[in-house]
Amino acid sequence: MRSLWLTLGLLSSLAWAYPSGVVYIPLDDRPPNWSPCRWELVRCPPREVYRGRKGADLALLWGWLVGQPGQMLVASLDALVYGGLVQSRSARVSVEEARRRLGVLRYWQATWGPVLAFGVIPRHPDAVDRGRNLALLRGLEGFSYVEAPWDDALPGSPAVAEAATLDLPTRPGADEAGQVMLLRALNPGLRVRVLYDHPQAPEQIARYDGIALGESVRRLLASAKAIEVSERPDLVLLVYTGRDPRQGLLGVLQGLRQAPVAIADIARVNRGDPALMRYLLALDLYPALAAYAAWGTPSNNLGAALAQGGLFAPLPCQRAGNPSGFCEQRRTRALAQAYLEYLWGEVGRPWVRAHFTEPLGEEAAHHTLKRLQAEPMPRFPRGALVPTHLRFPWQRSFEAEWAYRFSGED
């Protein structure tokens, strides 16, 4: 029965049209990693292959991948070797076995085309075998591009020092890495102007990054194969640290005179700045953005804002061969999702933690959705954003998965 299910899944996925020719293996099925599968740009495994906190079913994931034709593959090493990010910290797998499991990637590259891969240096102190994880990353050769972002480098974490021992591009981050790799695959050469909300921002050490903010941004641009410029940008990346929302607003207005603006709101971890958001909503600027991200750590938000801006801002998106209607629809959908992620961090997560205990189910989702529907919503050309459904993919309050519509679609 299992082999029959897999065969049917392979046949149905082969019939599905994906415009870019890129196959994508997410790190896991949490919203930041799974979001590209909803963009209709790339081919992804069936959602059932990923089993939430249990991690991916490796046999099904490998079996699915070997049957997928494509022009390029963007893949999480941790998903293919361990089953996901959480499993990479605790899996009892030898270095030899871990390397053997990468055979599916080598087969795909030999059969179809280039492989862009990323493997995470795990956060401290969760990983039980850091040496094994690092040994796997040191032994990677023959792929078109591999990088190793490090996860949550708080003071005392060995991750930054470990990264320096690798002969690979490294930077802070993890959950945004798939999105950044897709930008590299789909729209390399993006011209980006970086604006900060105050002159000292590039020198500050952002929480969870472990290095100066300016260096983190520089490494991020290299990961995306983007080019930092001071004039004629395709995209302006506004790095907002939260010192003064008025300066943040001025940065948005300044940037919009040059190109679409993507905001990386790193004022707080896993939450955006409500003062800045009030300005964006009151002046009707939010719907005009190329992208917005506030859901994670500074590096998470930087990578998500850059990737989504680079993929869906009008000029870069159309240069990649997409029609204008496709670009506008994807930009609007990504902004809607980003606002709901902001709302979750600012209102939803604190509210559900105050009223329910984990594991969270349908009752918690129902009541939390009612609470959030009372919050202000941005208005897009298709109408005001209306959240219609909420679920907890891992039955915990850290992340939420949304369905929504626009009032003009009634």
What is the second-level CATH architecture of the domain 189-354? Answer: 3-Layer(aba) Sandwich (3.40)
For residue 380, what are the β-bridge partners? 383
Q: Residue 7 and residue 324: Cα distance in Å, rounded?
A: 36
pLDDT (mean) for 220-240: 98
> What is the average pLDDT score of the chain?
94
- Reported as a pLDDT band with limits 50, 70 and 90, residue 321 is confident
Q: Residue 50 and residue 28: Cα distance in Å, rounded?
A: 7
Domain(s) labelled CATH 3.40.50 in the chain stretch across 1-186, 189-354
Q: What HEC string does the chain produce? A: CHHHHHHHHHHHHHCCCCCCCEEEECCCCCHHHHHHHHCCCCECCCHHHECHHHCECHHHHHHHHHCCCCCEEEEEHHHHHCCCHHHHHHCCCCHHHHHHHCHHHHHHHHHCCCEEEECCECCCCCCCCHHHHHHHHHCCCCCCEEEEEECCCCCCCCHHHHHHCCCCCEEECCCCHHHHHHHHHHCCCCEEEEEECCCCHHHCECCCCCCEHHHHHHHHHHHCCCEECCCCCCEEEEEECCCCHHHHHHHHHHHHCCCCEEEEECCECCECCHHHHHHHHHCCCHHHCCEEECCCCHHHHHHHHHHHHHHHCHHHHHHCCCCHHHHHHHHHHHHHHHHHHHHHHHHHHHHHHHHCCCCCCHHHHHHHHHHHCCCCCCEECCEEEEEEEEECCCCCCCCCEEEEEEHHHC
Q: Residue 243 and residue 237: Cα distance in Å, rounded?
A: 17
pLDDT tens digits, one per residue of 189-213: 999 999 999 999 999 999 999 999 9
pLDDT for res 408: 84
Within 13 A of 36's CA, how many CA atoms are on the CB side?
A: 32
pLDDT for res 18: 54
pTM of the entire predicted model: 0.94
Q: Which fold has domain 1-186?
A: Rossmann fold (3.40.50)
Question: Residue 8: is its pLDDT beyond 50?
Answer: no
pLDDT for res 227: 98
pLDDT for res 169: 98
pLDDT tens digits, one per residue of 157-166: 999 999 999 9
pLDDT tens digits, one per residue of 94-128: 999 999 999 999 999 999 999 999 999 999 999 99
pLDDT tens digits, one per residue of 288-306: 999 999 999 999 999 999 9
What percent of the chain has a predicted confidence (pLDDT) above 70? 95
- Reported as a pLDDT band with limits 50, 70 and 90, residue 19 is low
Question: Residue 1: is its pLDDT beyond 90?
Answer: no
- Beta carbons of 148 and 170 less than 8 angstroms apart: yes
